[in-house]
């Protein structure tokens, strides 16, 4: 059975919850209180209920700590305390209750002691306490004594102010129990080890009820685990045996006999084991276990016997992995010589293939190493010696060819060669008269030259050859000045008498006129034949200066020479800037950074447009004084005068006036004292305007509420129109009605009258502040005086209080309609709704489903571990279904005869005229010899015979073995 008390509070025999109380006095309050509890009998502490000092509408965060150290020794040592509970309460009323349930029960053994610290971690919240005497119980009963300790203001480092002696007022909920010894379970597999034990009523985290784990660092190793084959021979089921030494080991491998030692086993003889036995291999793939050179890893070889060396079922050319094959060459033209590019690899010679690979053309039978080399257009290598035609000395049918040394396409008749094809640099022609010059050959152009060369090989040269090209033009020089007349000329290779090559004479009747003569001014003759008369090249030419700005003064740096003055040029050269007609020795000086009158000085103070400058001592851009004339601004001066205070950079005409400083910054003759111009001066100027930037704010002005401005200058809050000291809730304050001065957050308020004066609508019909209105006023709270009682609250079972207001029995935790005996009912397991006096008992589920004290089991009359197929059951007096004749739910329902222990599915067949294995066949497998296949190897490799008798009953060692196996099956099924 699994009662609800075990589910909620751990293992062991436990009573219903009990309490120890200290009534509320609401005299004192503090964040938290430390205290001791001593136990007369072993108890489990499950909850502390305290009283609040005041109302806390937002709820409070709390924490609960415990320690077994002496309080005085750990007051400021956080590490000595363990957190066992924390959370947040709902809204709390003054002197209301709050619960701090522990996350796991704290066990105090009989005669033992534990200290606790219950504290609000919300520092604005306080719980109630009373003063007492250290060491003297403030409350006690037959199980517990409640001893005063220290008051302690909350601080995360436990360094808050400490007061003594204090006892928290409230209720301690605990449960008397019987402590159990628990063993460390580091790997959380449900099995512990002998070590540092812990005594507790409930199972602590990290502990188990047994100490039988043989390896507590591995959750896969425990008495409940399955033995497995593994490399480390690990004892997974903690029975002292591992792998091959443990008959229950699973995962064994099949090993084949390896007679020839090649690491491959035979399928004809094998065994099973975790580890490899000597003389066995981890596979059964050897096709010949008498030869170590034959196995799946061997190399297939070409051989006369066509042996299958690699055991793949194929041999020699029938196996793609064969080694030792020869290369054969295709003989396409049948001349007995093969093509090296067309091959086949095979153990035996294929049809139309030969061993020779020397045929250079396997499409012509006339081409092979035995063929005759001849001259041909295709330059064919008929004898396959790597040479063809001229490259082969055995070639016939060659022609004559002539050298063309100069590459002009005509050959030298004195240089001849015989070959199949024209050698490089030769041709069939032999008509060149000079094979050292590519421009000389029949058909070339005859040209004039100094050597009188016969370029076209016709026997005549230069002027003797009417076809000569490249003749020159020669001009008559009648006046003998070395310059010819362009109107009188002739063509020839060489110059005729009285002619010259120059044709530039413009007057061939006057030897003083020619391109080599000097030009003269004012003779109206083109003396040098340049096409110009009296030009600047004349030896008597004048110099003229450019007048670019037209002011009649020339630029000395820009001149020209001519017989007469060109346009825009003058004889004067004194202009100092010929780009400006306002600049010349006769111009007026002005302020423009230019020497206007060319006197060597720029911008003299006498300039016609010189400015006036004023001294600016404070650098504010405004000067003072009479001013000084100058083209350039002197240092420390400005162009604007009129500064009323030239020692203050912030004071000048038009400056920004600063109010209330007694200084006239804008030079208007007065300081600024009424910025908003409402007729009221600021206090800094002796006035009473509280906001001199707002014309609507001054003493006595009308107030405009909630705009954040104190218009009347009275200093009061602009968000408290009713003057009750609380700002309006609409503007972030606590006053929900700013028209009534008796309504604000925290104001005195009577519940249930409909007038919400404290601004908390939720508590008008919810006096205990648990978030649920009273049932008497239309809500759902069945007890509006206790904040721990409301719909949906966590119900503490069996305390007689309907905490969640659901109206159901407090002694029916599983809600199956049956109360526990404590509540007047007969439910034997109040933690399981499927267990009650009227429930249907389920076979072998480990539960007393109908509370009759027993279990329903399947029938296994012969105790062979298999039950009857029809699912017949019987009533058991206990819950384990392990007694004689009882079967388990996980037993196979395959026993074809439940009266005989040697008959069940999978049993060894006996020669007894009985179907022992329940497979529908009697005495199968009892023949002495098993069938064999064509290879002569047993097709069923096993020991024979499997039966070996004909008496119909097990005898001798075989019978004992079978009976022993039945006993082992029953023990294994029972977990022994």
- Write out pLDDT tens, residues 307-319: 998 999 899 888 8
Report yes or no: 204 and 187 within 8 Å, Cβ to Cβ.
Answer: no
Question: CA–CA separation, 904 vs 921, rounded Å?
Answer: 13
pLDDT for residue 15: 53
3-state secondary structure of 463: helix
Confidence (pLDDT) at 955: 38
| Whole-number pLDDT of residue 968 | 39
Gap between the Cα atoms of 100 and 92, Å rounded? 14
pTM: 0.31
Q: Residue 152: CA atoms inside 13 Å, Cβ hemisphere, count? A: 28
Residue 930 confidence (pLDDT): 40
Q: Give the pLDDT means over successive 10-residue stretches in the chain (976 positions).
A: 29 66 94 94 95 95 94 86 96 96 93 95 95 92 94 85 88 92 91 86 87 91 92 90 87 90 89 88 90 91 90 89 90 89 89 89 88 86 86 85 89 88 88 88 87 85 79 86 86 84 85 84 80 78 85 86 84 85 86 86 82 85 85 87 83 83 81 82 82 81 82 81 84 84 84 82 80 82 86 83 84 84 84 87 85 88 86 86 88 86 86 86 64 42 42 38 41 41
Q: What is the pLDDT of residue 91?
A: 95
SS3 218: coil
CA distance 380 to 395: 11
Pull the structure tokens for residue 178: 């019987």
pLDDT at 926: 60
- Report the candidate in 67, 68, 63 with the shortest Cα–Cα distance to residue 81: 67
Predicted confidence at residue 329, as pLDDT, reads 92
Q: Which two tokens stand for residue 287?
A: 């096709």
Strand runs (DSSP E) across 764-860, as ranges?
855-859
Integer angstrom CA distances of residue 797 from 5, 8, 9, 10, 433: 9, 10, 12, 15, 138
The phi and psi torsions of 114 (rounded to 5 degrees) equal -145, 145
Phi, psi dihedral angles at 366 (to 5 degrees): -80, -10
Q: Are strands 489-492 and 472-476 parallel, antiparallel or unpaired?
A: antiparallel
pLDDT at 774: 85
Q: What b/e readout covers 305-330, taking b as 16+ CB neighbours within 10 angstroms?
A: eebbbbbbeebbeebeebeeeeebbb
The percent of the chain in helix, strand and coil, each rounded to the nearest 5, is 5, 20, 70
> CA–CA separation, 126 vs 169, rounded Å?
12
Size of the chain, expressed as the number of residues it contains: 976
DSSP structure string for 914-965: S-TTSSS-SSTT-SSS--B-TTS-BSS-S-S-SS---SSS--HHHHHHHHHH
pLDDT of amino acid 956? 38
For 773, other C-beta atoms within 10 Å of its C-beta total: 20
């Amino acid at each position: 059975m699994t009662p609800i008390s075990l589910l909620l509070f751990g293992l062991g025999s436990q009573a219903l919850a009990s309490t120890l109380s200290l009534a509320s006095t609401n005299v004192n309050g503090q964040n938290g209180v430390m205290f001791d509890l001593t136990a007369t009998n072993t108890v489990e502490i499950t909850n502390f209920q305290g009283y609040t000092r005041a109302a806390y509408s937002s709820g409070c965060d709390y924490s609960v700590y415990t320690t077994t150290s002496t309080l005085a020794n750990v007051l400021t040592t956080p590490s000595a305390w363990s957190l066992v509970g924390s959370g947040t309460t709902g809204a709390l009323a003054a002197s209301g209750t709050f619960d701090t349930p522990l996350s796991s029960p704290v066990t105090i053994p009989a005669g033992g002691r534990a200290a606790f610290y219950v504290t609000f971690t919300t520092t604005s919240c306080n719980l109630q306490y009373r003063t007492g005497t250290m060491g003297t119980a403030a409350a006690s009963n037959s199980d517990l004594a409640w001893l005063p300790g220290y008051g302690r203001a909350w601080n995360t480092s436990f360094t808050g102010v400490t007061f003594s002696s204090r006892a928290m007022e409230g209720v301690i909920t605990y449960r008397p129990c019987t402590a159990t010894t628990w063993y460390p379970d580091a790997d959380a597999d449900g099995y512990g080890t002998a070590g540092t034990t812990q005594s507790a009523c409930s199972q602590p985290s990290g502990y188990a009820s047994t100490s039988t784990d043989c390896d507590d660092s591995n959750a896969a190793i425990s008495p409940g685990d399955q033995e497995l084959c593994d490399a480390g021979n690990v004892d997974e089921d903690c029975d002292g045996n591992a792998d091959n030494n443990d008959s229950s080991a699973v995962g064994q491998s099949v090993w084949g006999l390896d007679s020839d030692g090649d690491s491959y086993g035979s399928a004809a003889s094998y065994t099973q084991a975790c580890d490899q036995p000597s003389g066995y291999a981890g596979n059964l793939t050897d096709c010949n276990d008498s030869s170590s050179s034959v196995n799946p890893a061997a190399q297939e070889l070409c051989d006369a016997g066509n042996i299958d060396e690699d055991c793949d079922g194929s041999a020699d050319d029938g196996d793609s992995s064969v080694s030792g094959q020869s290369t054969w060459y295709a003989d396409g033209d049948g001349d007995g010589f093969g093509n090296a590019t067309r091959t086949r690899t095979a153990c035996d010679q294929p049809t139309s293939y030969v061993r020779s690979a020397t045929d250079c053309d396997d499409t012509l039978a006339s081409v092979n190493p035995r063929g005759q080399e001849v001259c041909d257009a295709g330059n064919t290598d008929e004898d396959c010696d790597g040479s063809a035609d001229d490259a082969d000395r055995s070639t016939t049918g060659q022609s004559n060819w002539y050298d063309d040394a100069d590459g002009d396409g005509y050959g030298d008749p004195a240089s001849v060669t015989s070959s199949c094809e024209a050698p490089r640099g030769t041709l069939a022609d032999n008509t060149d008269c000079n094979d050292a010059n590519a421009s000389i050959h029949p058909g070339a152009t005859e040209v004039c030259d100094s050597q009188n060369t016969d370029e076209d090989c016709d026997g005549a040269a230069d002027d003797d050859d009417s076809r000569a090209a490249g003749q020159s033009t020669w001009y008559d020089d009648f006046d003998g000045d070395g310059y010819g007349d362009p109107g009188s000329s002739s063509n020839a290779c060489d110059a005729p008498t009285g002619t010259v090559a120059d044709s530039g004479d413009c007057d061939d009747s006057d030897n003083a006129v020619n391109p080599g003569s000097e030009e003269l001014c004012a003779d109206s003759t083109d003396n040098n034949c340049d096409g110009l008369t009296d030009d600047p090249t004349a030896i008597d030419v004048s110099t003229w200066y450019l007048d670019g700005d037209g002011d009649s003064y020339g630029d000395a740096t820009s001149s020209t020479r001519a017989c007469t003055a060109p346009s825009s040029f003058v004889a004067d050269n004194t202009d100092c800037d010929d780009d400006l007609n306002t600049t010349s020795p006769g111009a007026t000086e002005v302020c423009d950074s230019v020497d206007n009158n060319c006197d060597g000085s720029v911008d003299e103070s006498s300039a016609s447009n010189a400015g006036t400058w004023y001294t600016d001592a404070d650098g504010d851009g405004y000067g003072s004084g009479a001013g000084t004339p100058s083209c350039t601004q002197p240092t420390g001066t400005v162009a604007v005068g009129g500064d009323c205070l030239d020692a203050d950079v912030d004071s000048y005409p038009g400056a920004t006036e600063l109010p209330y400083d007694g200084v006239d910054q804008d030079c208007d003759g007065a300081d600024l004292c009424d910025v908003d111009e409402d007729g009221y001066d600021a206090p800094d100027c002796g006035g009473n305007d509280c906001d001199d930037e707002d014309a609507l704010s001054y003493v006595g002005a009308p107030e405009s509420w909630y705009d954040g401005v104190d218009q009347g200058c009275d200093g009061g809050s602009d968000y408290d129109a009713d003057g009750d000291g609380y700002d309006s809730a609409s503007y972030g304050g606590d006053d929900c009605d700013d028209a009534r001065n008796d309504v604000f957050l925290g104001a005195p308020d009577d519940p249930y009258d409909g007038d919400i004066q404290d601004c908390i609508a939720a508590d008008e019909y919810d006096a205990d502040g648990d978030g649920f209105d009273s049932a008497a006023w239309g809500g759902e709270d069945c007890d509006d005086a206790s904040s721990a009682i409301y719909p949906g609250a966590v119900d503490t079972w069996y305390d007689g209080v309907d905490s969640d207001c659901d109206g159901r029995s407090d002694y029916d935790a599983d809600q199956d309609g049956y109360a526990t005996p404590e509540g007047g009912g007969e439910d034997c397991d109040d933690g399981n709704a499927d267990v009650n006096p009227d429930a249907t008992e389920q076979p072998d589920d480990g539960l007393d489903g109908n509370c009759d004290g027993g279990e329903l089991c399947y029938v296994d009359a012969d105790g062979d571990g298999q039950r009857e197929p029809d699912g017949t059951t019987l009533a058991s007096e206990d819950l384990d279904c392990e007694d004689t004749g009882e079967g388990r739910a996980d037993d196979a329902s395959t026993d074809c005869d439940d009266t005989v222990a040697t008959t069940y599915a999978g049993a060894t067949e006996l020669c007894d005229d009985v179907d022992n294995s329940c497979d529908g066949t009697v005495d199968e497998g009892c023949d002495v010899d098993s069938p064999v296949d064509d290879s002569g190897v047993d097709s069923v490799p096993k020991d024979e015979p499997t039966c070996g008798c004909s008496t119909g009953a097990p005898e001798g060692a075989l019978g004992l073995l079978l009976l022993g196996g039945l006993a082992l099956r029953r023990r294994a099924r029972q977990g022994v």
